[in-house]
Amino acid sequence: MAAAFRRVWSSGRVFSQSCRRISTGRGLLPGPRPLPFLLVTGGGYLGYKQYQKWGQQEDGAPPPVATPTQVALYRSFPTRLLSRAWGRLNGVELPTWLRKPIYSLYIWTFGVNMQEAAVEDLHHYRNLGEFFRRRLKPAVRPLCAASCLTSPADGRILHFGRVKNSEVEQVKGVTYSLENFLGPQKRRCKDSSSSSSFRDDILSSPDSDLFHVVIYLAPGDYHCFHSPTDWRVELRRHFPGSLMSVNPGVARWIKELFCLNERVVLTGQWQQGFFSLTAVGATNVGSIRIYFDQELQTNTPRYSKGSFHDRSYIADQTVKFAGEGGVTLQKGEAVGEFNLGSTIVLLFEAPKDFSFNLQPGQRIRVGEGLGSL
């Protein structure tokens, strides 16, 4: 019996060595290189479909909020590393013959409307990154002149309304702290007392109110974001952080998701007072680009938890279009882009009679009206 066992062990050892020679030997059969790519794309597709199921759950029966342990486990996944790897993959130039099959699969999966693209020929896009950041034809996103505030991005309305008690709803029933999201701010209202709330401190007038709107960009949406109004950007604040999914289903599950994820907050003034536009990062969306700020670097390998980095645009001569009061943006002007779908959060001061022209969950496109005075 011992001799038989030695023969089995020896044959298994020879088989294992031969397998290693086949898979690693340079002169033998080449490794199946497409397999990792297929695993990544297939896994991403299945994950996306699962997130779609979460997002389609009725508002009346949301999933339970994640426990701190569940959030910690999720944050322990190397999503930042995976996002950097995905970014590098997006920059790899594809052979001309492979571009149309790859992009066609993406178009079919996520429902991309290529008739709106400035360049419809799929062979024009050298890599996935260029395809994700494709530009649109000028006439396909007209600006709503009747609205003082327009959508900064294509996507779906997750939530909107007034900010109450310095808590903002990321989706119905799930909130995050306004102070944690924006970071410390200068007190603007002169009549504010020492016991005033964070919300009251950023308002320029006690007769105003603070409003918010959250727009989710799916992977198939147009990936650039635009200025929703005429305003002046005074400060850029970059919060390094996690890169968890911001799919509506996950947003219902994780409280303060937008405060945990990496984000770039642009704050300043519009005609009604305080105004901010925040680009929130997500899994595979570690790259957030602001066109007029070349110094911004997101999803770096190392960062300190809870830290943030400020850059003032006031009288900064190194920033394009910056003047004494900051960077002036016009309504509809291109501001930046994501590497894939993500989320835009608008927080703004307006008279108390401001009203939204929106419905929860509705589809919206760049330039369409959000509300009116």
So which residues are the catalytic ones?
A: 154, 226, 342
**64: buried, middle or exposed (CB in 10 Å: 19+, 13-18, 0-12)?**
exposed
Give the whole-angstrom CA distance, residue 258 versus residue 182: 10
Tokens representing 46 are: 């299945």
- Full DSSP string of 331-372: TT-EEEEESS--EEEEEEEEETT-EE---TT-EE-TT-EEEE
Going from the C-alpha of 355 to that of each of 211, 223, 358, the distances in angstroms are 10, 27, 9
Tokens representing 119 are: 């360049």
Residue 352 · residue 207 · CB < 8 Å: yes
Residue 75 · residue 274 · CB < 8 Å: no
Nearest CA among 56, 173, 58, 157 for reference residue 361? 157
Q: How many CB atoms lie within 10 A of CB 141?
A: 19
In three-state secondary structure terms, 256 is coil
Give the whole-angstrom CA distance, residue 157 versus residue 170: 10
* Residue 254 C-alpha from the chain's centroid: 16
